[in-house]
Amino acid sequence: MKTVLKKIATFVITVLLVTLFVFIAFELIPGDAATYRLGINATPESLERLREELGLTRPFFVRYFSWLGDFFFGDMGTSISYGVSVRSMLASKLPITLTLTLMSFVLVVALSIPIGVITSKYEDRPLSKAVDVLGQLTMSIPPFFLGILITYLFGMILHMFTPGGFVSYDVNFIRFMGYLFFPAVAIALPKAAMSTKLLKTSILSERKLDYVRTAYSRGNSTMDVLYKHVLKNALIPVITFLGMTLADIVAGSLVIEQVFSIPGYGRLLISSISNRDYPVVQAIIAIIAMIVIFINLLVDIMYQVLDPRMRGN
């Protein structure tokens, strides 16, 4: 309970700091929403009137704490560029980014755990060596560049999907899932390679410990020792890594959305930064920060549940 309370306190402090830094960044960046809306040829009087209407003339900390209070009560403000509720804008984009994130994470788990177990079981075979080399190569490629390669190969050459031809979930759910599969692969492959390597290393390390020899001496088969004893312990660091991976996917999916022209949080965030639409930017960054920190909190709790040695710390 003490650890959970500390993590919750860290959660709150980090979110406050992130939102504060976002506000400070907008103060330091030249230009504002009024200048963007009226253009560089606007008169000083019209700029001042619009700034007053938008609340930009109020003191910095007055604007910050006013927004913060409204945010935690569900009011994220109004988009300066579109004049609609930020909450409604984000709600329409959430299923897209959430689906992409979960699909990527499922692919990481589905690929890494079976491959990690198989390559550790046959560590001296040529196939295991080939998987290691392929994994090193995959880890070295940034997801956005991998996305470009996937778009060129599967989109432009093999015509398995239409680059830029995103189909919304409320129009055709099957085509929506089919389109998101390819960006999900671009996100998942480097993470799956890392997770596979970690699991293989963890299994090989566990197999050298005394309890494994004890299990064999009791008449357990190789399969029983691997799946009933070794794998359970070897998965503990992997689960921690997967939790960090999920948090990284949440942030990394924003870049992939740009590569595949997916109208999720990523494209909305970048366009809002360009438009100085700070209510949208602040809301997206705060939500992402809260999700990432919350995932880290869950990982810490799971780690203590799975590893009894950590419960006394």
Work out how many domains the chain is built from and give that number: 1
Domain presence at residue 230: yes
CATH code of the domain containing 160: 1.10.3720.10
Residue pair 220/64 in contact (Cβ under 8 Å)? The answer is no
Domain presence at residue 28: no
Residue 260: per-residue pLDDT = 92
Domain presence at residue 9: no
Domain presence at residue 72: no
- Average pLDDT by stretches of 10, the chain with 313 residues: 74 82 77 72 82 81 85 83 86 91 94 90 84 89 89 91 89 93 94 92 86 82 80 83 86 85 88 81 84 80 65 51
Residue 232: per-residue pLDDT = 81
Residue 308: per-residue pLDDT = 58
Domain presence at residue 275: no
Residue pair 21/289 in contact (Cβ under 8 Å)? The answer is no
Of 141, 183, 148, which Cα lies nearest the Cα of 166?
A: 183
Domain with 217, as residue range(s), is 92-263
Residue 306: per-residue pLDDT = 65
Residue 193: per-residue pLDDT = 92
Residue pair 171/93 in contact (Cβ under 8 Å)? The answer is no
Residue 26: per-residue pLDDT = 74
- DSSP-derived secondary structure for 24-43: HHHHHSS--HHHHHH-TT--
Residue 285: per-residue pLDDT = 85
